[in-house]
A and B are shown apart, each in its own frame.
Chain A
Amino acid sequence: MTTPIAPPPRKDPQKVTRPPELPPIQRSRASLELSAMAARGVFALQHCELCGTIAYPPRDACPKCLSINLRFRPVDDGGEVIAETRVHTTPDLYFRQRMPWRVGTVRLDCGPSVVAHLHGDVEVLSRVRMTAKLDKSGNAVMMALPAQETENMADDVQYRELTASPKHRRALVTDGRSAVGQAVAAALSKAGASIIFVGIAEPWKPFPGEKELAAIPKVEIMPLDITDTTSVTELCGEIGGKTDILVNTADYVRPGGLLAPGSVVTARDAFDVNVFGLQRLAQAFGPGMRARGADGTNSAAALVDILPVYALANIPSFGFYSASAAARHSLLQCLRAELRPGGVRVLSVFTGPLEDDWRQHVPPPKVQPSQIARAVVTALEEGIEETFVGDVAKDVAERFLDDPKVLERELGL
């Protein structure tokens, strides 16, 4: 069993914050696909379409038949550890701060033997569950986990490097007025976050769930209006140095397409929250988080954005909303690259239509705020970069991967 990590002591103001270092960055193009699979939480390896060989590490041609027709497909994640070694010294800047480091050889049930990071609870000559996760450079690495869940498993130091676990971390939830913001705050509290700052815009307006929100353990209500640069800057001035996880739950949704009357005003409002709001948050909090990516147990770990899956393709009945989501998705891609030098993850949680006032005319299936909250916590705890919540989101994502043009036509019917 893993020793549970202790709540970190308060920061010593005389100590220099350790600048974040990254594990090796350069990868082959073929292996980027492995990272893309890991980003979605899928354990997949290359299959030769010609002879059926499963290949690892990723390569450009089948090691057996030399076919270049290799495709990543999910594989059985079972395996057995056959050897281990503990690295005690290295010139690598990232690993030398984290020595010793345990690695091992795992014979996968699906064929290849791989060198992988070993979870502390994995014994040599035992069954393991293999995972591919993104390291702090955003590259897929393999980690062997115990075949059965062990106590405090998530607290393993090597494993924690591959996640953005909310345990003992301080989170900011940007919109506590919404049901999603409230559900996320509650879920983070349950997941062991040490403080959950919850932003409230226009506090002079009462809102449903106000009392319940304030009663969630570890929740601290803060004034925050992401449409107001001053407000974002002021809050960052207060808590920017101790925001380890930022979950942007703000979302401005209005039905209507491009030809709806007065749509410029609505579109501006949508962009002001969904796009520029994210920008204001990133500009205020991003640099501080990037600098604190290796700041101990409660280092800055992730920025999570919850956005509609129509970021991938426009649904004309919510035309501007989709457009703002697409812009948001694009900014997240930019931000992901910009925060990577700090080892800070950008996690996108794409959702299907929510059950809310603005989408009463949208037929089910709908997504509940609690489902989104669970997905946010899972994304953090497992370091998953792209999550799709609800059947609609999963379906749209699948079709998007298949052919975005077909998806466009289908949503535009």
Chain B
Amino acid sequence: MTDAAIAKGADLLGALVAGMRDGGVEVVDLTHTLSPDFPVMVLPPEFGQCQPFRIEEVSRYDSRGPGWYWNNISMSEHAGTHFDAPAHWISGRNLTDGTVDSIPPEKLIGPAVVLDFSKESAADEDFLLTRAHIEEWEARHGRIEAGTWVLFRTDWSKHLGTAKYLNLREDGAHSPGPDSDAMEFLVKERGIIGFGTETVGTDSGQGSHLSPPYPAHYILHGNGRYGLQCLASLDRLPPRGAVIFAAPLKIRHGSGSPLRVLALVPADGKARKS
């Protein structure tokens, strides 16, 4: 690293801090509140289940602890707004750096693009994002660069609190997600770092019936990429130009973790206070 690069780095960080202070850079929280009534992935009952978030009060300025308030919490690594590491899926089981504790920290901060398919998802609850959709998006917004987080906006987070969020029926869940050709394209031809969704998983509700089953999980994690799900407020991000901070808890050999996802957004972009 050259002296010039070091000096430039200091300038850049100074500019970022100034931007955040004077309002040129906004911070958008892409995280849902972790609460016991936040739905988790539903699997056939004979499989192990994803434990929802639970909280037990240890003391609250009372006989159990007169001067302090604290809780014990428990949950699955995949509850609430959460991060999927490559080792989460069988396709990524043999990769190095596949668990949350070994992911290099520089990979936890990166640029993000937002693919807005909220209208399509409103019209079709089983909407599948295809390679053609992404190419059409690139024609309007430019090529997706390597190392980018691709965030799939469906406005599905707005269904939280209603049955529509999981949208379970006798034949399973119904929610939008990517088709396998979209994932192949993003991972192999665009070199994205990860894929983020507003739904309970990176895959569509009916993703088990695609080929391969759960293509987002299978292709992302098989190639050492990451997943983010249960994101909120994607409607406050511009199509390009946001930087997101998505650092999971450093759980030894962990497959993922709930986390706080923050986006830095240029204030002259499309960030809107909701």
Contact = CB atoms under 8 A, between A and B. Distances in A.
Interface of A: 202-206, 223, 225, 227-231, 262, 265-266, 269, 357
B49 interface: yes
B169 A206 contact: yes
A204 B36 contact: no
Q: How large is the interface on B (under 10, 10 to 19, 20 to 34, 35 or more residues)?
A: 20 to 34
Interface in B43-83: 45, 48-49, 51-52, 54-57
Name the 6 nearest CB pairs between A and B, nearest first.
A228-B36, A204-B163, A204-B166, A230-B36, A204-B39, A205-B168
A206 to B, nearest CB: 6
28 contacts: A203-B163, A204-B39, A204-B165, A204-B166, A204-B168, A205-B42, A205-B166, A206-B170, A223-B37, A225-B36, A225-B37, A228-B37, A228-B52, A228-B54, A229-B54, A229-B56, A229-B57, A230-B36, A230-B55, A231-B36, A231-B37, A262-B48, A265-B48, A265-B49, A266-B48, A269-B49, A269-B51, A357-B45
Nearest to A255: B46
A282 to B, nearest CB: 15
A256 to B, nearest CB: 11
Interface of B: 36-37, 39, 42, 45, 48-49, 51-52, 54-57, 162-163, 165-166, 168-170
Q: Name the residue among A202, A204, A206, A225 with the largest chain B CB count within 10 angstroms.
A: A204
B54 A227 contact: yes
A357 B37 CA distance: 26
Nearest to A205: B168
Given A231-B36, A269-B51, 8 more contacts: A204-B39, A204-B162, A205-B168, A225-B36, A229-B54, A229-B56, A229-B57, A231-B37
Contacts of B37: 223, 225, 228, 231
A229 B55 contact: yes
Contacts of A229: 54-57
Contacts of B49: 265, 269
A114 B166 CA distance: 65
A229 B35 CA distance: 12
Contacts of A227: 54
Given A228-B36, A228-B54, A206 B168 contact: yes
Contacts of A204: 39, 162-163, 165-166, 168
A357 B46 CA distance: 10
B60 to A, nearest CB: 13
Contacts of B168: 204-206
A265 B51 CA distance: 9
Contacts of B55: 229-230
A266 B57 CA distance: 24
A204 B39 CA distance: 8
B54 A202 contact: no
A231 B35 CA distance: 11
A225 B166 CA distance: 18
Contacts of A269: 49, 51
A230 B38 CA distance: 13
A141 B60 CA distance: 46
A262 B169 CA distance: 29
Contacts of A230: 36, 55
Nearest to B45: A357
Given A227-B54, A265-B48, A202 B39 contact: yes
